[in-house]
């Protein structure tokens, strides 16, 4: 599986704040394709970049105190949301740290019990995904091959005693 390498020194989502709720969470890859219409025949398409940027819909519920931390972190650490930061988000390979940034300022609603609902859209540089080889194996053996491969990797690299064959 391809891991996402995060730049050193970027801010990290505070451990004291919850991750986005499942309700309202969603991913949408942004198009990298450039389309050129041709007078005769099919249009031509090419990619601008090999990386994919995703738009993420996120929603949190904060206590009054947690909302104060979130608001101050967004203002002071992220410079009103313009800086990239590392945050665990759910993707096809589970919850993993990805490089994120707020697309626009977030929106809030005060709920009963002095709780805050915060909605925002994030952009994410890349989500970890299967490699081309893993995709071919999973296409033939099915999605369960992914879990089997992870268990086999763990068994070989963490459970087996190191052998001095070399």
Segment 24-36, tens digit of pLDDT: 899 888 877 787 8
Query: Do residues 153 and 92 both lie within one domain?
Result: no
Res 164: pLDDT: 53
E-assigned strand segments in the chain: 26-29, 33-36, 44-47, 54-62, 85-91, 94-102, 107-111, 115-124
Q: What local confidence, expressed as pLDDT, does residue 2 receive?
A: 53
Tell me: pLDDT of 74 over 90.
Answer: yes
CA nearest neighbour of 102 among 37, 23, 165, 11 = 11
Say yes or no: 118 and 156 in one domain. Answer: no
Query: Based on the domain organization, do 72 and 56 belong to the same domain?
Result: yes
Residue 78: what pLDDT?
97
Query: pLDDT value at position 3?
Result: 59
Question: Same domain for 50 and 123?
Answer: yes
Per-residue pLDDT tens over the stretch 132-157? 888 888 788 777 777 776 766 676 67
Domain assignment of residue 80, yes or no: yes
Q: Which backbone phi and psi does 20 adopt, to 5 degrees?
A: -60, 150
Which DSSP helix (H) or strand (E) runs through 68?
Answer: helix 64-72
Evaluate whether residue 4 is within a structural domain: no
Answer with the residue of higher pLDDT: 35 or 83: 83
Same domain, 108 and 141: no
Name the pairing type of β-strands 33-36 and 26-29. unpaired
- The pLDDT value given to residue 160: 58
State how far the Cα of 82 lies from the Cα of 141, in Å rounded to an integer: 43
Residues 95-121 as b/e (b if ≥16 CB within 10 A, e otherwise) read ebbbbbbbeeebebeeeeeeebbbebe
pLDDT on residue 46? 77
Asked whether residue 98 falls in the same domain as residue 140, the answer is no
| Rounded-to-integer distance, Cα 45 and Cα 60, Å | 38
pLDDT the model gives residue 159: 67
Q: What is the pLDDT confidence band of residue 126, given thresholds at 50, 70 and 90? A: confident
Beta pairing, strands 115-124 & 54-62: antiparallel
Structural domains in the chain (count): 2
> What average pLDDT does range 103-130 have in this prediction?
93
Structural domain boundaries, residue 149: 130-160
Give per-residue pLDDT as tens, 91-112. Answer: 888 899 999 999 999 999 999 9
CB atoms within 10 A of CB 58: 20
**pLDDT tens digits along 34-64:** 878 887 888 888 777 777 889 999 999 999 9
As a whole number of angstroms, the distance between CA 125 and CA 103 comes to 12
**pLDDT: which is higher, 40 or 86:** 86
């Amino acid at each position: 599986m391809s891991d996402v390498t995060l730049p050193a020194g970027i801010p990290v989502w505070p451990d004291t704040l919850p991750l986005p709720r499942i309700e309202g969470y969603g991913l949408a890859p942004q198009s990298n394709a450039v389309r050129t219409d041709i007078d005769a025949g099919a249009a031509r398409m090419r990619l601008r970049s090999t990386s994919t940027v995703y738009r993420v819909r996120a929603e949190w519920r904060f206590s009054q105190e947690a909302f104060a931390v979130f608001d101050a972190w967004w203002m002071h650490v992220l410079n009103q949301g313009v800086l990239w930061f590392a945050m665990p988000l759910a993707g096809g390979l589970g919850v993993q740290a990805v490089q994120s940034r707020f697309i626009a300022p977030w929106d809030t609603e005060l709920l009963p019990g002095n709780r805050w609902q915060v909605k925002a859209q994030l952009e994410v540089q890349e989500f970890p995904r299967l490699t081309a080889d893993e995709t071919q194996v999973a296409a033939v053996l099915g999605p369960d091959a992914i879990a089997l491969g992870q268990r086999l990797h763990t068994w070989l690299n963490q459970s087996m005693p190191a052998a001095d064959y070399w």
